[in-house]
Structure 1
Amino acid sequence: MKKFLKTRSEEVESAVEQAMRDRIDQLVIAMRSADVPDADTEALRAEIIKIDEEIRKLMKKLGDADTVLFEYIQNTVNELHEQKAALERKIRAKARKRRTVDTAPLEKPMKHCDKLSIPEKHELAAVMLEAVYVSDENGIEVKFSI
């Protein structure tokens, strides 16, 4: 005996279309907020600039240094490079979290989704969606690839 879903295909299509619209809106908002400078990132960049300046000052002193001072300067420069690398990793991690997607090619078709042909809708869905799960118990779940 076959079990049929109570959810109709029109309901699924409508729910997926609305989820796609909502996702594009989220991405547009994320893209706008990514343009705004982040205070934490700016503070990290300022710290990197300070470290670079300290390294430059130490490097200028190398020419006049004896062997003990030379070793001290070299160790200090290495420590500063490690600090700088750690700060740069933090900046890259923050940038990955704020990943943005260019929504321009998707916005126009989504505005006129009702006028798109079935193959055009499939193309749009293939770009945006990873999977759509439908069940009577859990409803409709949309997973995005973007």
Structure 2
Amino acid sequence: MSLLQAGRFVVMLQGRHAGKKAVVLAAYPEGTEDRKFPYAIVMGIEKYPKKVTKDMPTEVLVKKTQVKLFVKAVNFNHVMLTRHNVKDEDFFKKISVEKVVAALKDAPAKKALLTEYASVLRQKYLNNKMAWFFKPLQF
């Protein structure tokens, strides 16, 4: 049994998303026919929401609370496990792992999927769910 399971938060260690937080959607410790190494499908935040104040206009609030996502298949060696889990029960009801795996092979489908899931995560940010996930790492 691997510690890297669906619903665990990880920190990306390699590549263009190094230092970004992500959540494991699916883990394949034995690999698959496509990828013969242990890997996980992760969804993370590429661009974190900015800080907002009460006196900002609505247009500025909407722009500053946008979330930009990435979805990736990543080797187990390139992520660092954290102690945090997804505690939100309806997270995996709104985010379909099968759709994400299918979209990884098709660029237009992946773009549409990221736009759809960005709005889901934006609502979680506005409702103050998974607060740790929406703050960038402090170096």
> TM-score of the superposition, structure 2-length normalised?
0.27
Q: Pick the structure with greater CA Rg.
A: 1
Which of 1 and 2 has higher RCO (CA within 8 Å, sep 6+)? Answer: 1
Structure number with the higher strand fraction is 2
Structure number with the higher helix fraction is 1
> TM-score of the superposition, structure 1-length normalised?
0.26
